[in-house]
Amino acid sequence: MIAMKPLTSAPHQVVIIGGGFAGIQAARSLLDSDHSVEIVLVDRRNFTLFQPLLYQVATGLLSPADIATPLRPLFRDHPRVRVILDEAIGFDPFKRQVFLRHGDVPYDTLIVATGSRHHYFNHPEWEVHAPGLKTLEDAEIMRTRIFTAMESAELATDETQRRRLLTFVIAGGGATGVELAGTVAEITRHTTVREFRRCDPSLARIVLIELHDRLLSGFSVDSSTETLRALGSLGVEVMLSTRISDVSAEGVTVVTATGPISIPSATVLWAAGVVASPLGSLLATSLNRPLARGGRVSVGDDCAIPGHPNIFVLGDLAEFIPDQLDNPENRPLPGVAQVALQQGVYVGQVITNRLRGDAPPPPFIYKDRGSMAAIGRRLAVAEIGAFHLRGRLAWLAWLALHLIKLMQVQSRILVLVQWVWSYATWNRRARLITGQDPDQPLLISE
Amino acid sequence: MIAMKPLTSAPHQVVIIGGGFAGIQAARSLLDSDHSVEIVLVDRRNFTLFQPLLYQVATGLLSPADIATPLRPLFRDHPRVRVILDEAIGFDPFKRQVFLRHGDVPYDTLIVATGSRHHYFNHPEWEVHAPGLKTLEDAEIMRTRIFTAMESAELATDETQRRRLLTFVIAGGGATGVELAGTVAEITRHTTVREFRRCDPSLARIVLIELHDRLLSGFSVDSSTETLRALGSLGVEVMLSTRISDVSAEGVTVVTATGPISIPSATVLWAAGVVASPLGSLLATSLNRPLARGGRVSVGDDCAIPGHPNIFVLGDLAEFIPDQLDNPENRPLPGVAQVALQQGVYVGQVITNRLRGDAPPPPFIYKDRGSMAAIGRRLAVAEIGAFHLRGRLAWLAWLALHLIKLMQVQSRILVLVQWVWSYATWNRRARLITGQDPDQPLLISE
């Protein structure tokens, strides 16, 4: 039980749940603009994760520490920030308290930004066969699955079994799915060349399955077409307009226009769907409000919950529907880092203005600074407004942007060294099969 | 079931079990000197581990991939080397076969070098409370324990509990124990300074427990004395001539000359004892030979099992007792990397000479090229024959030697960047609390 600060005492206490893009940015924005507020940052993890590069950990190029920044050093020089490693398990909006597993924390203003998890469209039983990619643990599991499949193929004596072990299915044709498919193609076609004696990973079948009729549906149609072409040239089979109807230890079953197809596969990587953190539901329940689609929490144009001006929800957890004139279809903002970052800055400004007695800033407007996805070596698509880049130039822009966005200078240097090295040698030094009990058989059983 | 090569067919097949220092070196030695032999390298892991820096992974300085080298790329350009990711589970020395979990492999010559594990002196129940340090998984567990203890101390409301959470006990005063104690002192006194608001890790109690009457018993007495002094100046309590009689969730109980003492502690790190890999016992049984001390396998002066000239045992798994004239106390060679490396080179030569029909090389003689242990920042002890170094110069020598010994040039660059950065900032970027289920409470319960 954490000691409570009486509600009446100054200074104003802002509790931020979730140390992702939105939460960290909100804390920084508050620290930049106001010097009286106290901040409590609560996260279950002791680091903030740069998720856009998580697929490079999952494929053995980077190490976890390259994309994870410990939280405490970020706020070492800000004694008004208290970091708590704990999990929020409930809210009392009337007493203005957050319940944590190990105590309660009172707030004057609450910011909830706990993001999203991958999910399986009412088939949670698929998860064991098709790991998703949201945490460092997920990345380690995915890495171990990918490289264990190839090791098992080397030992397999049955040709059907070996084909199954060398079939990689990636579910979901968004940025993560495209990046995973391109990378698995690179690993099997190039990284592991001449490394196996009895199986030939370059014969691996890589299948990318997308429900819609094009890849990267958040991008323009020409970027989708370019991505489809690029993946094809890497030897990835792309199945569009295809629904996954079953995932099991044997592989996946998909439904296409011509009927169901079974794809025997030992390695199914899930990049198909996300659902908001369960905290959204707890928060909505405590406020007697309905949940929005995907478990998200509806917020108004100031990023606060309507009727609760001191509770903000940001990033993937929030359903923010921009002004209807610009948005006739009422589409919510996408679950991308940029939205979270901009909302973090904005909410810091809203709170600062309130505490200063200034007028509130104008409603939040998302400035889409563009989208990028890396498809493979030297290939990417990038869109900045009407300006569309492809191929090598887009790839260099992708590299530069992701390097700059890493929070630690040291990580930028280390990631750059690893990228250059991997580019020159095709090697992936971090392709470690770890996290399994070494006393247990490591291989996928036949 | 792996297809068998008929025993009568050329070329000669050497099976190496274990891809550590000894196994890798034996393979390289064979590849350098003889061009007809076929090599099968069997390991449960897909990488070889540079164990001397494992404690830096366990304390959040380096990442696993910095000290682990994937096996396959090492032998990519040697088609005569086949790497098998599998576990040896038995031997038939008469049929010359090794049984693996997923098949059998015939051998003409067998090299077994599966090393050692930490062990608990007939108290396996201590392991759950006192993790050891032999694998990357061990290092992750240790890292998570160390940093979780500090996070839990920040949340603790009871002062007794907080003291327990900030008490770190290191069992064993060899090189690993000394390095862990020095590093935990650095983390608590410097790395985390100003990072916590309610607890003060610089008040942490760090206790190093050693059964013998001096630290680093493999070193000279003056190095032991210097190490004791240096650890004292870092604020480490060293308890010599002290036996651990119990380890539980509450802490440890030790027996000193004056009687038993309880040390409440949430974090007990085990660096006290090793036992040979269980494969030693399987091998000895299959040959009807007794096991040597610590589960090791006795070998003759050619590193082969007496009476079985085609079965070699190397490194930590072997009990090699040097010639009695030089070694009146019949002390076996220590379980250090240098012994393993030199035995690997030697056995490669023995096999090559045999296949060529040359006379066998003279008996194996271990050349002790010196010992080193890092105590903390800018402090180490190093002994090269009669030449003893201490302090900063020894520390620089330690850094240089460990950098050079890393197998990949890329790792040397990356480790150097991380060392320089950590030296300048005291930060430890890889101090991630990972590997626990994030849906479960992360903290040590009170």
Q: Three-state SS for B51?
A: helix
d(CA A409, CA A407): 7
Angle A282-B440-A73 (CA atoms, 0-180°, nearest 5)? 90
Write out chain A residues lying below 8 Å of B139, CB-based: none
B168 and B267 in contact (C-beta within 8 Å)?
Answer: yes
B233 touches chain A (CB under 8 A): no
Instruction: State whether residue A369 sits within 8 Å of chain B by CB.
Output: no
Flag whether B74 is in a domain: no
Residue A175, SS3 per DSSP: helix
pLDDT tens readout for residues A384-398: 888 899 989 999 999
Q: What is the pLDDT of residue A325?
A: 79
Whether A434 is covered by a domain: the verdict is: no
A292 and A322 together in one domain: yes
pTM for this one? Answer: 0.95
- B173 and B253: one domain? yes
Which site among A57, A119, A155 would you substitute to test the B interface, given the most B Cβ atoms closer than 10 Å to its Cβ? A155
Which pLDDT score, from 0 to 100, does residue A326 have?
78
Is the domain of A300 the same as that of A213? Answer: no
- Residue ranges, chain A, pLDDT below 70: 1-9, 34-35, 436-446
Whether B265 and B303 share a structural domain: no
One domain for residues A149 and A230: yes
Maximum alpha-carbon separation in chain B: 74
Residue A349 within any structural domain of the chain: yes
* B280 and B420 belong to one structural domain: no
Is B173 within 8 Å of B216 (Cβ atoms)?
yes
- Rounded to 5°, angle at Cα A7 from A6 and A13: 105
Pair of tokens at residue B411? 């790792």
Contact A2 B155 (CB under 8 A): yes
| Nearest Cα residue in chain B from A415 | B414
Residues B143 and B160 in one domain: yes
Tell me, yes or no, whether B256 and B109 share the same domain: no
Q: Tell me whether residue A287 is in a domain.
A: yes
User: Does A417 contact B421 at a Cβ distance shorter than 8 Å?
Assistant: no
State the pLDDT at residue B385.
Answer: 84
Q: How far apart are the first and last CA of chain B?
A: 50
Compute the distance between CA of residue A20 and CA of residue A35 in angstroms, rounded to an integer.
22
Determine the pLDDT at residue B34: 63
Could you confirm whether B38 is annotated as catalytic? no
Interchain CB contact of A205 with B (< 8 Å):
no
For chain A, positions 19-78, list CB contacts with chain B under 8 A: 44-47, 63-66, 68-70, 72-73, 75-77
B328: domain CATH number? 3.50.50.60
Which residue range(s) make up the domain with A181?
A: 126-272+377-425
Beta bridge partners of A168: A206, A267
DSSP H helices, A59-174, are 64-67, 71-74, 136-155, 159-165
Tokens of A288: 């007697």
Report CA torsion sign: B7, B8, B9, B11.
positive
A158-180 b/e (C-beta count within 10 Å ≥ 16 → b): eeebbbbbbbbbbbbbbbbbbbb
Q: Are residues B248 and B220 in the same domain?
A: yes
- Min distance B46 CA to chain A CA atoms (Å): 6
Using the Cβ of A3 and the Cβ atoms of chain B, whether some distance falls under 8 Å is answered with yes
Strand partners, B97: B92, B106
Is B197–A82 a contact, with Cβ atoms under 8 angstroms apart?
A: yes
CATH value at residue B221:
3.50.50.100
Q: Is B69 inside a domain boundary?
A: no
SS3 B415: helix
Chain A contact for B366 (CB, 8 A cutoff): no
pLDDT the model gives residue B212 = 96
Label residues A277-289 b or e (16+ Cβ within 10 Å = b). bebbebbbeebee
pLDDT tens for chain B, 446 residues long, are: 344 444 455 789 999 999 999 999 999 999 998 668 999 999 999 999 999 999 999 999 999 999 999 999 999 999 999 999 999 999 999 999 999 999 999 999 999 999 999 999 899 999 999 999 999 999 999 999 999 999 999 999 999 999 999 999 999 999 999 999 999 999 999 999 999 999 999 999 999 999 999 999 989 999 999 999 999 999 999 999 999 999 999 999 999 999 999 999 999 999 998 999 999 999 999 999 999 999 999 999 999 999 999 999 999 999 999 987 778 889 999 999 999 999 999 999 999 999 999 999 999 999 999 999 999 888 999 998 888 999 899 999 999 999 999 999 999 999 999 999 999 999 999 999 998 654 444 555 54
Total domains in chain A come to: 2
- Best CA proximity match to B131, nearest among B271, B270, B252, B274: B270
Chain A contact for B135 (CB, 8 A cutoff): yes
Contact A357, A351 (CB under 8 A): no
Contacts of B45 in chain A (CB under 8 A): 433, 438, 442
User: Both B260 and B303 in a single domain?
Assistant: no
Judge whether B230 lies within some domain.
yes
